[in-house]
A and B are shown apart, each in its own frame.
Chain A
Amino acid sequence: AQSVTQLDSQVPVFEEAPVELRCNYSSSVSVYLFWYVQYPNQGLQLLLKYLSGSTLVKGINGFEAEFNKSQTSFHLRKPSVHISDTAEYFCAVSDPYQGGKLIFGQGTELSVKP
């Protein structure tokens, strides 16, 4: 069985500062990894995904994430955040052989202050 741990429940940061949201996963098989973003009272939107290949993955809105197999981590980064990045961010994992079902972490609330 897979599980996902997001190490920070809340991350406050000032506008234009860099940010890293941490995610560790546990699995006995190879997995696909994802980051989704959720704005208030809305559904989830895919930011980026890692399926295979290059361990550095670039997504929308200037975000990127790095897959580290030895550390079982998939941390999300952005070099300079904007007020509009304020949202809840979810790391998720799926088993390639289990039909696309996603298992989510608990979420990290990113709060960007002016």
Chain B
Amino acid sequence: EAEVAQSPRYKITEKSQAVAFWCDPISGHATLYWYRQILGQGPELLVQFQDESVVDDSQLPKDRFSAERLKGVDSTLKIQPAELGDSAMYLCASSLPDSTGELFFGEGSRLTVL
């Protein structure tokens, strides 16, 4: 069964350091999402891609966060510099272009900032 792949699963870093997360969506899924899930809360959308184009990044803190999907396939989410409040699970999801909201999620990357 096709899955969304994410790495690393766990990342511990010190504040002010740079960190990057990688996501490989299900083959053929043109839409890719990055969500942030703070412990005890629901996921919040950071950025949505349609192929290589950003559709929605209104909730992405652009002073420190960046996301790219250069060839419209895999994607990287970067944080620089990391802050204590960035500790969270970063979830990647993908869907077909005509999705009715059925997203397929990866297992997530858990970030701890010390």
Contact = CB atoms under 8 A, between A and B. Distances in A.
B106 A41 contact: no
A55 to B, nearest CB: 17
B91 A99 contact: no
Interface in A73-100: 90, 92, 94, 96, 99-100
A102 B45 contact: yes
B26 to A, nearest CB: 12
A107 B38 CA distance: 11
A107 B44 CA distance: 12
A51 interface: yes
Given A43-B4, A90-B42, A107-B41, A100 B100 contact: yes
Contacts of B106: 43
Contact of B101 (A42, A45, A49, A90): A49
Interface residues of B, number: 26
A106 B50 CA distance: 26
A104 interface: yes
B45 A101 contact: yes
Interface in A1-48: 4, 32, 34, 41-46
Query: Which of the four size classes fits the interface of chain A?
Result: 20 to 34
B33 interface: yes
Contacts of A107: 40-42
Q: Which of A90, A100, A105 has the most CB of B within 10 A?
A: A100
Nearest to B99: A100
A32 B101 contact: yes
Contacts of B93: 43-44
A49 B50 CA distance: 23
Interface of A: 4, 32, 34, 41-46, 49, 51, 90, 92, 94, 96, 99-107
